[in-house]
Structure formats: structure tokens, C-alpha cells
């Protein structure tokens, strides 16, 4: 019996490893495709691309706006002042940065950190969609109005922030939580208070989603064993 279990566990972790490798490869391919895409606005050389970063198995994906100066140097999202705040907010809820995936609507730095233009959001959108398809997160946290606009184009952040809402994404449902951009929280004490409050809701949102998934899989297992009896 023990041998059987060990063998089964080995098999499961082997399958998991192959799956994770595929996800890593698929994310690497997105980076390479963006670097080679001659139609991408604001990208004149491959090093201009700031790819998403983090755990391909993440349950939570954070989507910001676009890279800034520090992001463009390190080629990593959220490594400047806003990124330091994001790290602190993650610490507040005992989530490690290595366990989440962080990306931007526009995966490069707009000149003088100006707002992204609609055509830039559109051009990078297909790469963001591929990231979501690969990672299949339980929760997407949008940071700021541009990433909120991807899912709720008519919402106002002051009304929408902190609410968990399910959105149909291709053939599945994803929970979207809109939050203020950390840079806005750095500029305004009231927004900082709301941002902390919204982050503190995340663990419970995740727990509920995990429970829901477990119930679903238990029901399925039960149905399969009932069918076997027939």
C-alpha cells in the first residue's frame, strides 16, 4: 500500500514538474515574441521589453500599468517606489512576492512615464491575455484604472476597489479584485488606508475560492465513484 502511494506521489509530482516546465517555457516564449515583435509601440530594441515576473503557478496575478525608470533598467515590473510598497502590502498579508505573478498592461516604459495610449494597451493586450491563459490564476488584482479598464471599462476605481467579482474568461471564471495603484497610495494617505484595507481582504477571498474548488472536486470524485458502482 505504502509503495503504491509513494509511486503515485512520484507520478503526480513528475506530472506537476513537466506542467510547470511547460508554463515556464510558455512564459519565456511570450518574452521572446514581444522582443521580436516589430509592431509593438515604444519597443525599438529587445531590451525595451519589461516581461512579467513571478511564479507560473501563482494563484494571484497582479496587473499594473506600465514600467517606469527602475523597471526599464532591471527589466522587472514593480521594482521602484511603487514596487517597494507592493512588497510591503504583500508582507502585510503574509504572501511572498515569489509566490505571485506580477505584470503590466504595457510591458515597456512610456516616455516620461506618461499614461499608456489606447493603441499601446491594445498592442500589448494579446501578450497579457497569453500570460493569463498560461497561469490560470484564481484571482487577478488590477492595480490602477488602466488594468481595471481591461475587465470593467465603465467603472470608477473609487467605487470598484476592494470588491471581488467573477468574470468569465474564455472557458472559465476568474475573480477580479480592483485596487488603487500603489503609486496613488504613496501620494495620498486616504488612498493608502483603502489600499491596506483592500489587501487585507485578499487572504479570505483566496480561502473561499480554495474551499469552493475543493467542494467541486469532492463532488466530482463522489460522482465518479458512484458511477463505478453501477
Of 66 and 139, which CB lies nearer to ligand URA in the complex structure? 66
Q: How far is the CB of 58 from ligand URA (least distance, A)?
A: 16
The number of residues that bind ligand URA (CB under 6 A) is 13
Residues 48-107 that bind ligand URA (CB under 6 A): 64-68, 71, 77-78, 80, 82-83, 104
Cα(89)–Cα(97) distance, rounded to whole angstroms?
10
The CA-CA-CA angle for residues 84, 191, 178, to 5°, reads 80
User: How would you list the strands of the sheet with 164-169, edge to edge?
Assistant: 53-54, 101-106, 60-66, 139-143, 172-179, 164-169
Residues 178-207 that bind ligand URA (CB under 6 A): 183
Show the site string, 9-48: x = touches ligand URA by CB under 6 A, - = not: ----------------------------------------
Nearest in space to 157 (alpha carbons), one of 167, 168, 143: 143
Cα(212)–Cα(217) distance, rounded to whole angstroms?
9
**C-beta separation of 143 from 62 below 8 A:** yes
Show the site string, 96-125: x = touches ligand URA by CB under 6 A, - = not: --------x---------------------
Binding site for ligand URA (CB under 6 A): 64-68, 71, 77-78, 80, 82-83, 104, 183
Amino acid at each position: 500500500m505504502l509503495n503504491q502511494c509513494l509511486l503515485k506521489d512520484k507520478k503526480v509530482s513528475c506530472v506537476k514538474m513537466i506542467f510547470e516546465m511547460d508554463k515556464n517555457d510558455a512564459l519565456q516564449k511570450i518574452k521572446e515574441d514581444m522582443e521580436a515583435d516589430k509592431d509593438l509601440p515604444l519597443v525599438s530594441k529587445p531590451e525595451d521589453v519589461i516581461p512579467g515576473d513571478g511564479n507560473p503557478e501563482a494563484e494571484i496575478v497582479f496587473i499594473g500599468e506600465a514600467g517606469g525608470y527602475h523597471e526599464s533598467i532591471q527589466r522587472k515590473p514593480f521594482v521602484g517606489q511603487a514596487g517597494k510598497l507592493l512588497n510591503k502590502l504583500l508582507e502585510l498579508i503574509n504572501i511572498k512576492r515569489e509566490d505571485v505573478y506580477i505584470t503590466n498592461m504595457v510591458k515597456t516604459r512610456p516616455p516620461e512615464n506618461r499614461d499608456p495610449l489606447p493603441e499601446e494597451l491594445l498592442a500589448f493586450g494579446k501578450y497579457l491575455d497569453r500570460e493569463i491563459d498560461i497561469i490560470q490564476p484564481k484571482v487577478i488584482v488590477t492595480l490602477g484604472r488602466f488594468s481595471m479598464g481591461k475587465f470593467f471599462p465603465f467603472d470608477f476605481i473609487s467605487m470598484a476597489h476592494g470588491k471581488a467579482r467573477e468574470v468569465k474568461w474564455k472557458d472559465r471564471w476568474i475573480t477580479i479584485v480592483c485596487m488603487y495603484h500603489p503609486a496613488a497610495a504613496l501620494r495620498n494617505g486616504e488612498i493608502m488606508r483603502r489600499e491596506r484595507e483592500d489587501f487585507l481582504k485578499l487572504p479570505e477571498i483566496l480561502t473561499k475560492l480554495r474551499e469552493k474548488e475543493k467542494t467541486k472536486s469532492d463532488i466530482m470524485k463522489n460522482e465518479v465513484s458512484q458511477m463505478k458502482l453501477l
